[in-house]
């Protein structure tokens, strides 16, 4: 059998549950009905594609309709790509390529979302479709017996269940996310999903809790969500703190929240999966080496509409550069683009002028959130400098003062 025996078509409402079953096989898990009950409302069949062999769904790709913060604080419509997979019986027949290319052409034709983003299950797959590695994340596994505590900070802490504190969490998230490239919008369904505390997802740990920090005036300016897993060893308590999220509007709130998480009784380890290379925590503890950071890839970004995407973000320095861009899937992106940044105004228009830099759309996606250096891509031979000095100029402009960070895996 070849992929010609398989049809790719838009998903419909009747496909949602079979898609979930198929993806459970692909990703080696059995869907808990309680988890699916809060996840299902996130999925819009109109944003999905399925590959069908007869009446059987053998592959799928979809995306969530959300916004993503880009450098400068704009909330840009972004296709949050998810649910991509092909059954083991139908692998290596070109089905995944058909799904991904169809998804991109459909998104481009719709004209609403200039960028797409995803978390890569396997990092070798998605560069083939123009997705660039847009920034690192750092997984922490801290040894609380040797890391030391962040300094004390003013303010008050208050704990409770995430459900009870939800209004305050939502309000603060919406206030802070405009300053964090890579963070995504969350509607009510997303908050319900992210705060759900299904027993099968706890891996033996206790229920999820939340803590909010208020400054001296009583204004909530930070929160964290976490759970603990108790354990005892030969030398006494050996518990673990599993941090889900830390959101802080001020340095004092950030410092106070991490001090709280580092000092929970009967715990000896702490894990956190969404730190960044420039995480302030590195500079707050006496022994940063004991944070146990493990560098990994974070978000992968794809420009669907080059001109609109480049106009949507801010830049650190003025810029006047002509980019020669290739795009094997979306030909409207290919060609030369004149990008100018002056006095906060950004323009990006097609041009026939000689190019200063040449690259694929993948490299623009990698640099888009400010987390991947164009100069590093140049040293890797991925960006070609055609005018002396152009690469350093563009690198300075595309960089950002804060590393991007995905807010959660989607």
Helix (H) or strand (E) holding 137: strand 136-143
For 188-317, strand residue ranges (E) read 209-214, 220-229, 232-233, 236-237, 239-248, 267-275, 294-297, 300-303
Q: What are the tokens at 99?
A: 């799904």
410 counts as catalytic: yes
Chain centre to alpha carbon of residue 114: 16
Cα–Cα distance list, 148 to 86, 261, 268 (Å): 46, 12, 11
Which one of 126, 131, 193, 272 is the catalytic residue? 126
DSSP string, 304-369: SSHHHHHHHS--SS-EEEEEEEE-SS-GGG-EEEEEEEETTEEEEEE--SPPSEEEEHHHHHHHTT
Q: What are the tokens at 301?
A: 């970004």
Q: What are the tokens at 398?
A: 């595309």
Cα–Cα distance list, 387 to 11, 149, 246, 252, 323 (Å): 47, 50, 43, 46, 11
Cα–Cα distance list, 162 to 99, 218, 253 (Å): 37, 19, 18
Pairwise CA distance, residues 303 & 60, whole Å? 21
193 counts as catalytic: no
Which one of 254, 368, 398, 410 is the catalytic residue? 410
Q: List, by residue number, the catalytic residues.
A: 126, 410
């Amino acid at each position: 059998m070849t992929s010609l025996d398989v049809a790719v078509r838009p998903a419909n409402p009747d496909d949602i549950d079979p898609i979930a079953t198929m993806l459970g096989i692909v990703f080696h898990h059995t869907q808990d009905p309680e988890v699916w009950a809060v996840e299902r409302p996130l999925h819009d069949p109109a944003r999905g594609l399925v590959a069908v062999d007869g009446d059987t769904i053998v592959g799928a790709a979809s995306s969530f309709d959300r916004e993503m913060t880009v450098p400068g604080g704009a909330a840009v419509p972004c296709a949050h790509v998810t649910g991509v997979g092909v059954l083991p019986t139908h692998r290596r027949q070109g089905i995944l390529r058909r799904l991904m290319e169809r998804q991109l052409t459909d998104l481009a034709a719709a004209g609403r979302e200039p960028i797409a983003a995803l978390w890569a299950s396997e990092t070798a797959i998605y560069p083939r479709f123009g997705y660039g590695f847009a920034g690192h994340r750092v997984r922490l596994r801290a040894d609380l017996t040797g890391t030391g505590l962040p300094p004390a900070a003013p303010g008050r802490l208050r704990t409770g269940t995430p459900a009870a504190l939800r209004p305050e969490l939502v309000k603060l998230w919406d206030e802070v996310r405009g300053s964090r490239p890579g963070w995504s919008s969350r509607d009510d369904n997303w908050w319900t999903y992210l705060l759900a505390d299904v027993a099968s997802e706890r891996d033996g740990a206790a229920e999820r809790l939340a803590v909010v920090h208020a400054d001296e005036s009583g204004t909530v300016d930070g929160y964290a969500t976490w759970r603990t897993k108790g354990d005892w060893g030969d030398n006494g308590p050996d518990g673990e703190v599993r941090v889900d999220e830390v959101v802080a509007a001020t340095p004092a709130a950030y410092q106070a929240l991490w001090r709280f998480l580092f000092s929970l009784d009967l715990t000896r380890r702490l894990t956190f999966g969404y730190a960044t290379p420039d995480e302030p925590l590195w500079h707050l503890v006496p022994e940063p080496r004991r944070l146990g950071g493990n560098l990994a890839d974070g978000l992968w970004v794809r420009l669907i509409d080059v001109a609109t995407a480049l106009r949507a973000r801010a830049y650190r320095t003025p810029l006047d550069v002509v980019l020669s861009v290739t795009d094997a899937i979306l030909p409207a992106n290919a060609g030369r683009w004149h990008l100018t940044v002056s006095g906060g105004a950004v323009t990006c228009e097609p041009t026939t002028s000689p190019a200063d830099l040449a690259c694929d759309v993948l490299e623009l996606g990698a640099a888009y959130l400010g987390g991947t250096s164009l100069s590093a891509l140049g040293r890797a031979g991925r960006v070609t400098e055609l005018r002396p000095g152009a690469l350093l100029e563009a690198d300075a402009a595309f960089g950002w003062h804060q590393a991007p960070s995905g807010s959660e895996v989607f």
